[in-house]
Chains A and B, each alone.
Chain A
């Protein structure tokens, strides 16, 4: 879902650059209040995991591939705004170092993959956790569902941006982006489920949203 330069109009790119910088600033400020030195490497390894897992394109139907996005996963482990910081760093390095995603469109890519596929579904996930009194198992299943949702929702937002930029009619874009990402999202759900249950097996205390939820409901 890394958009190259040339697809998105300057107005959309400027607007989303503003939004992404605000979110980065807010995230850093929030983090500065309670960053512990011993959790710094966790940010590093989660970022490294996102970068590597994003290289693993898997085939879905009709000559299309998809790959793990991981913004939602990073947010579940580190907290929504910390997840935004991590996915943004990964996107910046992919863009500047590897030519994956355009430079003028970096802010839009951060908004799509960090906000629409990260902060928004993480907020909805947190809301529904409180409705369902989740144990570890239902926490995992719900996380998998919202991981799927994160990919589908952000792909639809890309269709909207392409439409605003005058590239493709809204209906056609929504159907085309949505249909392929229904399947790519399934991959996101599976990987998120197994990565989170792997962490649960060794160190559930490292999964921030689970810890926060557990503390609230003790």
Chain B
């Protein structure tokens, strides 16, 4: 590891990855393929898809944000809220974990 890298702040790269993720989840994902994925396709072709039970507890089912009727917003808000939630949970829980461990 070179010294110059060690001294560089990591903030720009962290922000960069976060912003890319927000754009992917909030905007680009609207244009994602609606086709069934590999496992779903196999389940349809081999007739065991009907065994699947819907997971009804989820507040944002199927990546579709409930509080709006616009498809683009339904998808985008689900993506953005999920990305922020995942970021907050991952860094928040580790931060608390670190605090507990160092006490």
Query: Which single member of A45, A55, A168 contacts B79 (CB below 8 Å)?
Result: A55
Q: Which residues of A contact B97 (CB under 8 A)?
A: 28, 31-32, 35
Q: Is the interface of B mostly helix, strand, loop or mixed?
A: helix
Residues of B within 8 A of A (CB): 1-2, 5-6, 8, 10, 13-14, 17-18, 20-22, 24-25, 28-29, 32-39, 41-43, 45-46, 48, 51-63, 78-79, 82-91, 93-95, 97-98, 101
- Listed stretches A14-22, A118-126, A135-143, A176-184; interface member: A176-184
A45 touches B85 (CB 8 A): no
Contact-size category for A: 35 or more
Q: Which residues of A contact B90 (CB under 8 A)?
A: 43-44, 46-48, 86, 89
Query: Which single member of B10, B24, B45, B62 contacts A206 (CB below 8 Å)?
Result: B10
Can you give 18 A-B contacts (C-beta < 8 A)? A5-B52, A5-B53, A5-B55, A28-B97, A37-B95, A47-B90, A49-B17, A49-B21, A49-B24, A53-B21, A58-B32, A58-B33, A95-B58, A98-B63, A99-B60, A100-B55, A173-B42, A176-B46
B55 touches A48 (CB 8 A): no
Give B51's nearest chain A residue, CB to CB: A6
B17 touches A98 (CB 8 A): no
A51 touches B14 (CB 8 A): no
Q: A49-B21, A52-B79, A173-B42 are in contact. Are A90 and B58 (CB under 8 A)?
A: no
Q: Which residues of B contact A94 (CB under 8 A)?
A: 82
B43 touches A52 (CB 8 A): no
Query: Which single member of B33, B34, B60, B93 contacts A98 (CB below 8 Å)?
Result: B60
Give A95's nearest chain B residue, CB to CB: B55
B37 touches A48 (CB 8 A): no
Q: A4-B53, A56-B29, A172-B46 are in contact. Are A45 and B87 (CB under 8 A)?
A: yes
Beyond the given pairs A7-B43, A52-B79, 7 more chain A to chain B contacts, judged by CB atoms under 8 angstroms and listed by A's residue number, are A1-B37, A4-B52, A40-B94, A51-B82, A56-B28, A63-B36, A97-B58
Give B10's nearest chain A residue, CB to CB: A38
Q: A53-B24, A66-B37, A95-B55 are in contact. Are A167 and B48 (CB under 8 A)?
A: yes
B61 touches A177 (CB 8 A): no
Cα A90 to Cα B32 in complex, Å, equals 19
Cα A89 to Cα B29 in complex, Å, equals 21
Residues of A within 8 A of B (CB): 1-7, 28, 31-32, 35, 37-38, 40-53, 55-60, 62-67, 86, 89-90, 93-103, 155, 158, 162, 167-168, 172-173, 176-177, 180-181, 184, 202-206, 211, 214
Query: Which single member of A47, A59, A203 contacts B87 (CB below 8 Å)?
Result: A47
B38 touches A99 (CB 8 A): no
Cα A177 to Cα B45 in complex, Å, equals 11
B22 touches A103 (CB 8 A): no
